[in-house]
Chain A
Amino acid sequence: MAVPLAFFGLFFAYPVAAIVGRGLKTDAGWQFGRIGEVLARPDIADVLWFTTWQAFASTLLTLLIALPGAYVFARFEFPGKQLLRAVVTVPFVLPTVVVGTAFLALVGRGGLLDELVGVRLDTTVWAILLAHVFFNYAVVVRTVGGLWAQLDPRQEEAARVLGAGRFAAWRRVTLPALAPSVAAASLMVFLFTFSSFGVVLILGGPAYSTLEVEVYRQTAQLLDLSTAAVLTMVQFAALGGILAVHAWTVRKRETALRLVDPGRTTHRPRGWAQRTLLGGVLLTVALLIVAPLAVLVERSFDAPGGYGFGFYRALQEVGAGGGTFLVPPLEAIWNSLQYALAATAIALVIGGLAAAALTRRAGRFVRGFDALLMLPLGVSAVTVGFGFLITLDEPPLDLRTSWILVPLAQALVGVPFVVRTMLPVLRAVDGRLREAAAVLGASPLRAWREVDLPLVRRALLIAAGFAFAISLGEFGATVFIARPDRPTLPVAVARLLGRAGEMNYGQAMALSTILMLVCAVSLLVLERLRPDKTSGEF
């Protein structure tokens, strides 16, 4: 526990506290009065209001659209199910800048929707909400669907035998069993949409701003650190609340349910109602998730002089004349892979140790530690980035111009996923096995290798896959600290989108497609490794 604590202290708590402190402390001492002043400003109130209601609306809309999907994935057997489950998860790990681009290509000016029916949704709040559904569909399908597949349908059938109607049986039996996982999924979606940055920045236009966007604007543009500090504290408070509720529902969920092998609960759809439901879900997935991804791919091939690999070939060159990069954009793939590997290694070590510590101890302090590990998911990357700048500036830790900052920042976001994936498995390892091995003469190292390792190996691989995919897609922190000679894929995409000319736009599309492929492949590998018996939270 000491190592993860030190890691979080040094690379998260200290920088964030330093930058918040810098904002609130002047020569005249602490300025806590600023908190009230900032919160009373009408423009800040607007931001808070928009952040909150769009998060609520996004969460509701996501539940509404994804719950039928969760049911279909949990209970029906149909061809291509594995592949489709990987596909719906792709957006979740795609960087928001790509999601934004995909949506602009679909609902923006001259987009697919515009060409077909003349409807444009960019700079409306609908584009933001739909992008959030696209982004978080998999959270609901995996969290709720995972549990749903393991619920014994015979309990509901028993209720019906005893005279309950179809709906009453579902409401009385299945719903209560599902409720905690629905709550957990809602809270995760709420957390992600509450701290939404890229989606709002790209699709929102000048009229919309979330807390996260406002922190960025106040810090990076206006250098109004005290306002940024107050907003960061508001974000912390909101996060604390969300995480407390989350921890509570998770604990409730851990109270025993009768779970069965998911293989026994699925069947082919029967009758028109079930077929319609399946068709509806497939259509939703096609329109909402596959279509934006497909538009992206289509645009990447729409080169001047006919469809082809023109934009892909251009990726190998240093931009002619325009010079967006000091290196060919294609090198960004290699950079991204290296950073992601380093970030995965760090996240696995830190997250693994944290999960181990959480398994062996209990109590209020440990639960607090658990929540602490989740905090980086909801704290503005620019806050962390500026914090790095002012704290890691002295030898031996003058890391400000070092490449290690990128994987460190990415690992901060990866650790919560590692912990959440490993915890349930680690908790299931029977301590008596280890004791038995010791009694039989095994050294502690040998006992760990022979007992723990085989049991957690799969979970470890899954966690690694998640951490890897998240590092590949991470944008906020990376864009801030990536060195110009070593842009990552998402950073390269954003820079290409920021320049004039057809070639730049086309190359951005081509790079996004490559990023998507890399993500999809790592997810398919994940899907194969996924153990059936454990239901991690993702």
Chain B
Amino acid sequence: MSTTKKIAGAALAAALVTTLSACGGGDAKDKSAGTSDAPKSTTVTLVSHDSFNVTDTVLKEFEQQSGYTVKVLKSGDAGAALNQEILTKGSPRGDVFFGVDNTLLSRALDNGIFTPYEAKGLGEVKPEFQLDKEHRVTPIDSGDICVNYDKAYFADKKIAPPQTLDDLIKPEYKNLLVTENAATSSPGLGFLLASVGKYGDEGWKDYWSKLKANGVEVVDGWEQAYNERFSGSAGGKKAKGDRPLVVSYASSPPVEVLYAEPQPAEAPTGVATGTCFRQTEFAGLLKGAKNVEGGKALVDFLISKKFQEDMPLQMFVNPVTKDASLPELFTKHGVVVEKPTSVAPETIAKNREQWVKAWTSLVVK
């Protein structure tokens, strides 16, 4: 090795040590906390997907009461975030994972990434959401994927908006619906599952052929469908979208009101309540968590009244506990979906890939 290279090598080593120790500075607290002889860890880490959100003051209040500092790691969309947890099983990056839904629940449970923990306050959670009897996961929120319609369009044309899946294949709704790619988008998958739940393992294909013949349009993601193609949303109006029906969420109408200036008295969009698929999201204590006690406290917090009532306006989902009340925006502009479709997580796990493949060759190609 020539001297030049030695010097450069030493410089590199010095640079690396400096940067590594600089970056270690922020994490030093967690590392010492991670060792077993530490009395009590002060940081608890929540791993989630990009949509996770909480009001700052609500989180601060939890931190003050519990004495923990909460660190949030968001990593991609729901699917990618869960897959990262599965890959790092046993040596997780955090203590609690939030954001596995009923379409992916079986994958998470089969891979055994969670430690069972019966959360304090679980009695408040409505029984229909408690899908895991072993309490490896705790239900946190629920939402419905439904067809939304542009109220103005149907008022102008003097036709009634569709209400059920059967309506969507009727001739008066030809070329009106835009949906998302079931292979890459979670509302897209939800809508496919709604049809599976309603028409069964074989009948859904027949339904989709009819839907295709009736002119359904498929785009890659929710962003394009809702903000560019749908004529009822603020974004869609600007982009001159011409589809008055879109697959979105039951909470989308309140969102349209919230982000408008000034806020209108009535939401410009409505929900076809007979087209819905119910999605429930869960959180769980990760196996191998460094801060088990903190993790448990965090799960308890996620089903506390405070957090449950904060969720609707932060993530646009519904609470799962009996005592949580909805904000006025939701009670006024939202809808209650009486009979959403659901498919058992095990059935979804077993067939998801095959359904999506069949759907892709049927509808996209």
Residues of A within 8 A of B (CB): 1-3, 22, 43, 108-110, 123, 201, 204-207, 217, 219-223, 304, 321-323, 326, 342, 345-346, 349-350, 352-353, 356-357, 386, 389-390, 393-395, 400-404, 407, 444-445, 448, 452, 479-481, 483-485, 495, 497-503, 505
Contacts and interface: CB of A to CB of B under 8 A. Distances in A.
Given A206-B218, A483-B73, A505-B235, A220 B83 contact: yes
A29 B233 CA distance: 53
Interface stretch (B74-82, B123-131, B194-202): B74-82
Contact of B228 (A108, A207, A217, A400): A108
A106 to B, nearest CB: 13
Interface string B205-240: 000000000000011110100111100011100111
Interface in B36-53: 45, 50, 53
23 contacts: A1-B5, A3-B8, A205-B220, A217-B184, A220-B77, A220-B83, A221-B83, A221-B184, A321-B259, A321-B313, A323-B314, A353-B9, A394-B91, A395-B31, A401-B45, A401-B73, A402-B27, A403-B23, A444-B2, A483-B73, A499-B223, A500-B255, A502-B259
Nearest to A108: B228
Nearest to B188: A206
Contacts of A323: 53, 314
B31 to A, nearest CB: 8
A221 B80 contact: yes
Contacts of B8: 3, 349, 352-353, 356
A407 B235 CA distance: 35
Interface stretch (B12-20, B112-120, B166-174): B12-20
Contact of A222 (B45, B228, B353): B353
B136 interface: no
B234 A109 contact: no
A206 B53 CA distance: 29
B295 interface: no
B229 A207 contact: no
Complex A-B, nearest 8 residue pairs according to Cβ-Cβ distance, in ascending order: A206-B181, A484-B74, A220-B80, A444-B3, A501-B259, A323-B53, A110-B239, A404-B23
A221 B221 CA distance: 14
Contact of B12 (A206, A221, A349, A479): A349
Contacts of B23: 402-404
B87 A386 contact: yes
A207 B183 CA distance: 11
Contacts of A350: 12
Interface in B347-365: 353, 357, 360, 364-365
Given A205-B220, A206-B364, A500 B259 contact: yes
A504 to B, nearest CB: 9
Nearest to A382: B80
B80 A326 contact: no
B86 interface: yes
Contact of A484 (B20, B73, B357): B73
| Interface range for B | 35 or more
B1 A206 contact: no
B124 to A, nearest CB: 25
B299 to A, nearest CB: 20
A217 B183 contact: yes
B259 A356 contact: no
Contact of B88 (A207, A353, A393, A499): A393
Interface of B: 1-5, 7-9, 11-12, 15, 19-20, 23-24, 26-27, 31, 45, 50, 53, 72-77, 79-80, 83-84, 86-88, 91, 93-94, 107, 181, 183-184, 218-221, 223, 226-229, 233-235, 238-241, 252, 255, 258-259, 261, 313-314, 353, 357, 360, 364-365
Contacts of B88: 389-390, 393, 400
Contacts of B3: 444-445
A228 to B, nearest CB: 11
A349 B13 CA distance: 10
A502 B241 CA distance: 14
Contacts of A123: 219
A222 B184 CA distance: 10
A353 B20 contact: no
B15 A349 contact: yes
Given A221-B79, A402-B27, A501 B234 contact: yes
Given A389-B88, A402-B23, A502-B238, A356 B80 contact: no
Nearest to B48: A484
Contacts of B73: 401, 483-484
Nearest to A203: B220
A500 B226 contact: yes
Given A206-B184, A221-B80, A400 B239 contact: no
A77 to B, nearest CB: 41
Contacts of B183: 206, 217, 221
Chain B at the A interface: mostly helix, strand, loop or mixed?
A: helix
B79 A356 contact: no
B80 A206 contact: no
B363 to A, nearest CB: 9
B84 A206 contact: no
Contact of B87 (A2, A389, A448, A500): A389
A446 B20 CA distance: 29
B50 to A, nearest CB: 7
A206 B15 contact: no
Contacts of B11: 349
Contact of A109 (B31, B86, B239, B258): B239
Given A206-B218, A501-B259, A3 B12 contact: yes
B13 to A, nearest CB: 8
A46 to B, nearest CB: 8
Nearest to B30: A401
Nearest to B50: A495
Contacts of A322: 259
Contact of B227 (A22, A220, A390, A505): A505
B79 A321 contact: no
Contacts of A481: 75
A387 B188 CA distance: 29
A512 to B, nearest CB: 15
B187 to A, nearest CB: 12
Contact of B261 (A304, A400, A402, A445): A304
A390 B87 contact: yes
A421 B310 CA distance: 53
B316 to A, nearest CB: 9
A80 B74 CA distance: 45
B358 to A, nearest CB: 12
A22 B5 CA distance: 36
Contact of A498 (B223, B353, B365): B223
A264 B8 CA distance: 39
Contacts of B107: 223
A112 to B, nearest CB: 13
A394 B88 CA distance: 11
Contact of A353 (B5, B238, B313, B360): B5
Contacts of A3: 8-9, 12
B9 A223 contact: no
Contacts of B218: 206
Contact of A206 (B94, B220, B227, B241): B220
A497 B94 CA distance: 28
Contacts of B313: 321
A483 B45 CA distance: 13
A443 to B, nearest CB: 8
Nearest to A448: B4
Contacts of A1: 5
Given A220-B76, A444-B3, A484-B72, A389 B219 contact: no
B227 to A, nearest CB: 6
